[in-house]
């Protein structure tokens, strides 16, 4: 899978539930995912982990991948690189990092690499976020994505404000 200067990505396996629990049990990490409602260990093992393992079924290039710092082999979070379910010929990118790794440019570094990889495959790159998540929106912009529109997502607890869709076209 993808490697950058400071990060490498690899597939999760069933034994990695504790890593996901460390991430998704933090209310600050979950602020723009579930309005700060942490995931339980049972949710991780029964819902999140099976969803992640399922993400690898069609192609080894796609899925949700565990992210590690190269120099210390430390788990920092995950990155998504999956065929988008709503937009034709598009790949969705996404990320979730442990709080202690925020502000170090890791999300931007990997988002740029994933965006470049997808565009190199001739695909549009899409990313979505709650409109309040300014840090993720900045990452999207640094990865070359541009605001396409605001929309009302119905797939998660909601802030009462629209979500945003950012897109990078392959011919840009």
Q: What is the CATH number of the domain that holds 111?
A: 3.40.630.30
Q: Residue 20: inside a domain, yes or no?
A: yes
Whether 62 shows a pLDDT value over 90: the answer reads: yes
Is residue 1 domain-resident? no
The DSSP bridge partners found for residue 146 are 167
pLDDT at residue 155 is higher than 80: no
Instruction: Return d(Cα 91, Cα 82) in angstroms, integer.
Output: 5
For residue 65, give its domain range: 7-168
pLDDT higher than 80, residue 95: yes
Q: How many domains does the chain have?
A: 1
């Amino acid at each position: 899978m993808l490697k950058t200067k400071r990060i490498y990505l690899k597939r999760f396996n069933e034994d990695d539930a504790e890593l996901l629990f460390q991430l998704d049990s933090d209310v600050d990490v979950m602020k723009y995912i579930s309005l700060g409602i942490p995931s339980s260990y049972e949710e991780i093992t029964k819902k999140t982990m099976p969803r992640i393992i399922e993400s690898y079924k069609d192609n080894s290039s796609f899925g949700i991948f565990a992210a590690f710092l190269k120099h210390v082999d430390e788990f920092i979070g995950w990155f998504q690189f999956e065929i988008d379910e709503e937009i034709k010929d598009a790949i969705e990118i996404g990320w979730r990092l442990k709080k202690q790794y925020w502000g170090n440019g890791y999300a931007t570094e990997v988002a740029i690499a994933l965006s470049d990889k997808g565009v190199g495959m001739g695909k549009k790159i899409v990313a979505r976020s709650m409109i309040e998540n300014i840090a993720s929106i900045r990452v999207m912009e640094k990865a070359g994505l541009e605001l396409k529109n605001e929309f009302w997502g119905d797939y998660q607890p909601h802030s009462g404000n629209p979500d945003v869709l950012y897109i990078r076209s392959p011919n840009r």
